[in-house]
């Protein structure tokens, strides 16, 4: 099978000469998936933009060749290149919400590709657009083709982007982080769609990602990229069985899972050096615990081992020879059940039948014609010093529940008791005083930190509001202590948020939450958009803070690997209701609700677990019009007549394991 893409010696640099893609070479065979793996800032996306000649101003390609289906793309005139983009090669960008034109319908945007690259006109264009939307799994495609991007969910926008890319029948599809921040079921649908398209059309795929689970599920060949260079290249099987480069080893060791539950994750210290910065020697040396003097003095050569694996590292001097015992076994102890029994004697938060309904208004008089039942009768409790994970698809009400606990969104009904005190009904200063011990860490630290305030001012704001440490010197000392707790230097307090990396900003957000000495942290997807190495740092920090300060966490997430590592108990939420709850060992090890089983089966894993993939049909129903009976019934393979008659009551499977499903209760 011949190469569809062959890249040789690609160099892309800033106009001042600083290289940001440095001597990249790789090839992709027809029908093959090549994964470009690495942290944010390594140059993966810039490599893809270089290939399609879409570089931003101030960045230029200076050398190298890229042959696509036998044609050198860098020799083409711009008019010829426009025929390649969207035709022979297409690209799915990382953020579909920013890539789709907000003032054009979905159908009109697909029609552009069909008219330009397929020469279609008139009714045939609409027919093909509807057909493409149906192929990518969008229900009611004939109606959706007339809608605008704002009317679609995140997963549906991503599928529209895929439909646009496939409209030109490309031989090569470049997918730049196509599943970042998607929940596991939507991610599984997108990945399955890409695999099905490859099988049907023989399309090749350049997959850019930092998710090792996605690599394990999708890739045939893998290139590990660091600071503008490929530092290791191998087949998927070779890379996961025996990673050679210290960077690759650390990426794999940083993954959270059940085996590493009672031990710190192997976080990589520091961060990726800025692209284009002048560096001597190995670019990973400053973060490598296996480096010696040569690593800082000389750039390592590319070495190819006897098994075909390629690596750029001084540890490998001769073909197939390792200069020390440098291959990690990456084994952990399975201690997941050692602390799985919840501590019921000291419940710090107790939630009973909490409801958050938003009125639907229409007409000039804004009459209420319905309710969006975002949270619909949720009950849960969190013991002191424990972590309760709240998991589910995007749109199921997790974040709304977290905000309602703090009354950032007013609850419609129910009870929230914190340390024995009822919070519902309190207002003003009394509410602020009572909920001071509950703080929230938001999903996007950059959006939640005031860009015009220094770190010291951000941390001091909560103390001022609650009259904590009135003396200025005492406050500064407290701020220094907070920075110590989250692993930041004292000098950082005089900087602004934009001067920090994503992981550092999340640490600042955690420090802000700790500033008023809370007992409970509500963490809303705090690691969803972070690289695996930064995620490991944040998870280690949260775990150490819990041990030192006896903190309780409500951890809202769709990342089940994080849940396996961090949580003591798990609640699974679907369309505003808890459908299953229990200890982490019970819910993750013995899931009973069909929805929980589908979620767990959709998680891409490095090591095959023998779990059969359960494909959910359709999307999450609207909370404004939930299905009759069991809300999951329209998507469930085990639906019976009774499931549509009424919502299933709670069935107790053990003293801690509860499920709402007629498979185990009445009926």
Question: CATH 3.40.50.300 spans which residues of the chain?
Answer: 347-660
Task: Please determine, for residue 638, whether its predicted confidence score (pLDDT) is greater than 80.
Answer: yes
Percent of the chain residues topping a pLDDT of 90: 54
Question: Shortest CA distance to 242 belongs to which of 318, 332, 330?
Answer: 330
| Average pLDDT over every residue of 481-492 | 89
Q: Token digits for 432? A: 């602020």
Band the pLDDT of 326: cuts 50, 70, 90: very low
- Angstrom distance (rounded) from CA 622 to CA 367: 20
Average pLDDT of every residue of the chain:
87
Strand intervals (E) in 117-252: 172-176, 204-209, 221-226, 229-235
What pLDDT shows up at residue 171? 94
The owner of tokens 């802000």 is 512
Band the pLDDT of 321: cuts 50, 70, 90: very low
Which pTM value belongs to this model?
0.84
Q: Which residue has the higher pLDDT, 275 or 376?
A: 376
What pLDDT shows up at residue 512? 92
Question: Shortest CA distance to 414 belongs to which of 348, 355, 326?
Answer: 355
The most confident of the ranges 114-128, 129-143, 318-332 is 114-128
Strand intervals (E) in 423-568: 438-441, 520-524, 552-557
Task: Please determine, for residue 595, whether its predicted confidence score (pLDDT) is greater than 70.
Answer: yes
Band the pLDDT of 210: cuts 50, 70, 90: confident
Cβ 232 vs Cβ 249: under 8 Å: no
Torsion angle in degrees (nearest 10) through CA of 640, 644, 647, 649 = -20
Across the strands, what pairs with 174?
91, 206
Strand intervals (E) in 59-105: 59-68, 71-72, 89-92
Q: Token digits for 142? A: 């004939």
Phi, psi of 291 (to 5 degrees): -80, 150
Of 230-234, 467-471, 540-544, the least confident: 467-471
Sheet (strand 367-383) strand order: 367-383, 347-362, 413-418, 421-422
Cβ 626 vs Cβ 584: under 8 Å: no
Positive or negative, the Cα torsion across 291, 294, 298, 303?
A: negative
What pLDDT shows up at residue 258? 77
- Angstrom distance (rounded) from CA 605 to CA 560: 11
Cβ 617 vs Cβ 601: under 8 Å: no
Task: Please determine, for residue 442, whether its predicted confidence score (pLDDT) is greater than 80.
Answer: yes
Cβ 82 vs Cβ 28: under 8 Å: no
- Give the containing element (helix H, strand E) for 421: strand 421-422
Task: Please determine, for residue 610, whether its predicted confidence score (pLDDT) is greater than 90.
Answer: no
What pLDDT shows up at residue 158? 82
- Angstrom distance (rounded) from CA 263 to CA 272: 25
Q: Token digits for 141? A: 């495609």
Positive or negative, the Cα torsion across 651, 653, 658, 659?
A: negative
What pLDDT shows up at residue 31? 93
- Give the containing element (helix H, strand E) for 33: strand 33-37
Give the strand pairing for 387-391 and 577-583: unpaired
What pLDDT shows up at residue 324? 42
The most confident of the ranges 37-41, 158-162, 564-568 is 564-568
Task: Please determine, for residue 319, whether its predicted confidence score (pLDDT) is greater than 50.
Answer: no
Of 23-27, 272-276, 432-436, 521-525, the least confident: 272-276
Of 24-28, 149-153, 196-200, 488-492, the least confident: 149-153
Band the pLDDT of 206: cuts 50, 70, 90: very high
Task: Please determine, for residue 332, whether its predicted confidence score (pLDDT) is greater than 60.
Answer: no
Q: Which residue has the higher pLDDT, 411 or 529?
A: 411
Task: Please determine, for residue 275, whether its predicted confidence score (pLDDT) is greater than 70.
Answer: no
In 10 A of CB 30, how many CB atoms? 16
Question: Shortest CA distance to 212 belongs to which of 51, 372, 369, 36?
Answer: 36
Question: Shortest CA distance to 224 belongs to which of 198, 254, 204, 250?
Answer: 250
Q: Token digits for 189? A: 């649908």
Task: Please determine, for residue 334, whether its predicted confidence score (pLDDT) is greater than 70.
Answer: no
DSSP class of residue 263? Answer: S
First to last CA, the chain: 55
Task: Please determine, for residue 278, whether its predicted confidence score (pLDDT) is greater than 70.
Answer: no
SS3 label, residue 559: coil
In 10 A of CB 630, how many CB atoms? 28
Task: Please determine, for residue 134, whether its predicted confidence score (pLDDT) is greater than 80.
Answer: yes
Domain spanning 347-660: CATH 3.30.1020.10: no
Phi, psi of 581 (to 5 degrees): -150, 150
The most confident of the ranges 155-164, 248-257, 450-459, 519-528 is 450-459
Cβ 565 vs Cβ 554: under 8 Å: no
In 10 A of CB 476, how many CB atoms? 16
Band the pLDDT of 667: cuts 50, 70, 90: low
Q: Token digits for 335? A: 């201690």
SS3 label, residue 625: coil
Phi, psi of 142 (to 5 degrees): -65, -30
| Average pLDDT over every residue of 334-355 | 67
- Angstrom distance (rounded) from CA 132 to CA 208: 23
What pLDDT shows up at residue 342? 45
Across the strands, what pairs with 554?
388, 522
């Amino acid at each position: 099978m011949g190469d569809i893409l062959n890249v040789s010696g690609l160099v892309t640099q800033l106009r001042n000469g600083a290289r940001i893609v440095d001597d990249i070479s790789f090839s992709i065979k027809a029908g093959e998936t090549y994964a470009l793996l690495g942290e944010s800032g390594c140059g993966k996306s810039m490599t893809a933009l270089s290939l399609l000649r879409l570089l931003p101003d101030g960045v230029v390609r200076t050398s190298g060749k890229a042959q696509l289906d036998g044609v050198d793309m860098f020799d083409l005139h711009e008019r010829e290149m426009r025929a390649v983009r969207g035709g022979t090669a297409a690209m799915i960008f990382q953020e579909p919400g920013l890539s789709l034109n907000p003032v054009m319908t979905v159908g009109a945007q697909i029609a552009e590709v069909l008219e330009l690259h397929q020469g279609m006109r008139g009714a045939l264009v609409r027919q093909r657009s509807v057909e493409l939307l149906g192929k990518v799994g969008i229900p009611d495609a004939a109606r959706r083709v007339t809608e605008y991007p704002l009317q679609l969910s995140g997963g549906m926008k991503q599928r529209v982007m895929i439909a646009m890319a496939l409209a030109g029948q490309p031989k090569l599809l470049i997918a730049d982080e196509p599943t970042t921040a998607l929940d596991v079921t939507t991610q599984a649908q997108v990945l399955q769609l890409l695999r099905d398209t490859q099988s049907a059309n023989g399309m090749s795929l350049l997959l850019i990602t930092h998710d090792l689970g996605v690599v394990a599920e999708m890739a045939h060949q893998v290139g590990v990229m660091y600071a503008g260079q490929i530092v290791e290249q191998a087949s998927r099987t070779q890379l996961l069985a025996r990673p050679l480069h210290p960077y690759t080893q650390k990426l794999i060791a940083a993954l959270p899972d059940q085996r590493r539950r009672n031990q710190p994750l192997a976080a990589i210290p520091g961060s990726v050096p800025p692209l284009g910065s002048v560096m001597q020697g190995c670019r990973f040396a400053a973060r490598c615990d296996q480096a010696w003097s040569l690593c800082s003095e000389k750039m390592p050569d590319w070495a190819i081992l006897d098994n075909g694996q390629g690596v750029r590292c001084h540890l490998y001097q001769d073909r197939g020879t390792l200069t020390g015992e440098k291959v990690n076994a990456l084994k952990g102890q399975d201690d997941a059940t050692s602390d799985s029994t919840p501590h019921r004697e000291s419940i710090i938060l107790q939630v009973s039948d909490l409801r958050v309904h938003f009125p639907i208004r229409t007409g000039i008089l804004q009459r209420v014609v319905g309710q969006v039942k975002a949270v619909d009768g949720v009950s849960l409790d969190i013991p002191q010093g424990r972590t309760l994970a709240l998991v589910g698809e995007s749109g199921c009400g997790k974040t709304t529940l977290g905000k309602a606990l703090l009354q950032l969104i007013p609850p419609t009904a129910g009870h929230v008791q914190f340390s024995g005190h009822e919070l519902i009904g309190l207002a003003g200063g009394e509410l602020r005083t009572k909920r001071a011990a509950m703080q929230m860490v938001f999903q996007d630290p950059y959006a939640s930190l005031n860009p015009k305030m220094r770190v010291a001012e951000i941390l001091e704001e909560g103390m001022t509001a609650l009259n904590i440490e009135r003396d200025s010197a005492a406050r500064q000392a407290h701020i220094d202590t907070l920075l110590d707790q989250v692993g930041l230097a004292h000098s950082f307090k005089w900087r602004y948020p934009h001067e920090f990396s994503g992981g550092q900003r999340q640490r600042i957000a955690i420090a802000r939450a700790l500033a008023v000495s809370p007992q409970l942290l509500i963490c809303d997807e705090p690691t969803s958009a972070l690289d695996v190495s930064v995620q490991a740092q944040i998870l280690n920090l949260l775990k150490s803070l819990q041990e030192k300060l006896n903190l309780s966490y409500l951890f809202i997430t769709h990342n089940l690997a994080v849940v396996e590592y961090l949580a003591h108990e798990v609640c699974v939420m679907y369309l505003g209701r808890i459908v299953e709850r229990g200890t982490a060992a019970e819910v993750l090890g013995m899931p009973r609700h069909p929805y929980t089983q589908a979620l767990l089966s959709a998680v891409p894993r490095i090591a095959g677990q023998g779990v059969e993939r359960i494909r959910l049909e359709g999307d999450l129903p609207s909370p404004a019009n939930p299905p009759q009976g069991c809300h999951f019934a329209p998507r469930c393979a085990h639906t019976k007549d009774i499931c549509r008659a009424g919502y299933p009551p709670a069935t107790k499977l053990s003293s801690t394991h509860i499920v709402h499903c007629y498979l185990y209760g009445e009926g």
